[in-house]
Amino acid sequence: MQYRDFGTTGLKVSALGFGSMRLPMAGEHVDEDQAIAAIQRAFELGVNYIDSAYFYNRYESEVVVGKALKGWRDKVIVSTKNPDTDVTQARWREILEHQLKKLDVDFIDVYHFHGIRWAEFEEYIIKPGGVMETARQAQSEGLFKYLSFSFHDTPEALVKLVDTGEFTSVTLQYNLLDRANEPGIARARERGMGVMVMGSVGGGLLGPPPAEILGQLPGASHNSVEVALRFVLSNPGVSCALSGMSTREMVEENCAIASRTDPPTEAEMEVILAQAEEKKRLAELYCTGCKYCLPCPHGVDIPANFSAMNNLRVYGMRQLADYRYAELVSTGAAASFCQECGECLEKCPQKLAIIEQLKETHRALGR
């Protein structure tokens, strides 16, 4: 495993981090045995950064992470996120204390304001009486070590948040299909901040090996996950690439990739970027599968619908796309059940035109 500076903290963080938003599920709950086995295998292979959040996996992620940390706590940097900013200081503190209990730890290493925007920072966090005061008090008490934020706003807002000087690190989206945050990553590096990357493989969109890319690569890359991770880690401003890993096999593969020291060659990058841009152009329903748009009050599984559509649009797999959409119809979760209430629009970090894209999905697949 390769290790990198976590900003100017003096900590060394593994190039690959364990993102625990996609822990394996057994019905309605996390499959604890499988999840803990995957997490602890990552620790054995040198991963020393694990990231969670209050509501991941139906609020169970932090509990499972806490169980997996037994015997590893002093070797692992633990990160999680507080979802609330427009609340009382007492409520913000209550969530933090609940997370400490769920994780079963005395302190959290890296604590985030979850998915904040610049307007939210100004209105709720930094103003007198805002939750930044509570955060600093909790930090002084040793409840967490480093203050961070995760981010889904504009690239310009990222630079502004970095320049406040309030944060030790940032967790942001960056991948072959979305390079908009590159200026913010460079700025964070200048300011001595750690940069943790989520969505390294496009929320799974880059997972299926695209033959047109692999067939043209002159280097040693064997699959698109490898290409995607190596691309992210080739950015000198990136401290750690987070990957949601649900099995030991995924852990083994990704750890092997993160242990490589060679960045993609110039020839590889030319082909990779050209093909990625073409994929992005075709993926009019680009969706990272973050599921922030859920739950839909009418039961529509928005990411699953977009995934089915991308099987057709991006990868040309009509039979698979039709099959997956038919499954959604049978469970009442298809795009056709959308009532156009608009509740999902404000919650989407990508600001997708979800309603129009659901209509497009139904026109294409609702046969």
Map out the domains of the chain with their CATH numbers: 3-280 (3.20.20.100), 302-365 (no CATH)
Quick check: 210 and 216 in contact, CB under 8 A?
A: no
User: Does pLDDT of 8 surpass 70?
Assistant: yes
Q: Quickly state the pLDDT bin for 220 (edges 50, 70, 90).
A: very low
d(CA 41, CA 247): 9
Residue 221's pLDDT is 47
For helices 318-330 and 354-365, angle between their N-to-C axes, nearest 10 degrees: 110
d(CA 170, CA 237): 11
Residue 164's pLDDT is 97
Instruction: Compute the residue count for the chain.
Output: 367
Which residues have a Cβ under 8 Å from the Cβ of 229 and sit 6 or more positions away? 16, 200, 201, 241, 243, 254, 257, 258
Closest CA to 2 of 262, 269, 265: 262
Residue 181's pLDDT is 93
* One-letter identity of residue 244: G
Q: Quickly state the pLDDT bin for 230 (edges 50, 70, 90).
A: confident
Which residues have a Cβ under 8 Å from the Cβ of 1 and sit 6 or more positions away? 14, 15, 16, 45, 46, 47, 255, 258, 259
Span of 102-116, 212-226, 295-309 with lowest mean pLDDT = 212-226
Tokens of 84: 């609330």
d(CA 126, CA 134): 10
d(CA 115, CA 104): 24
d(CA 285, CA 310): 7
Quick check: 166 and 136 in contact, CB under 8 A?
A: no
Residue 50's pLDDT is 98
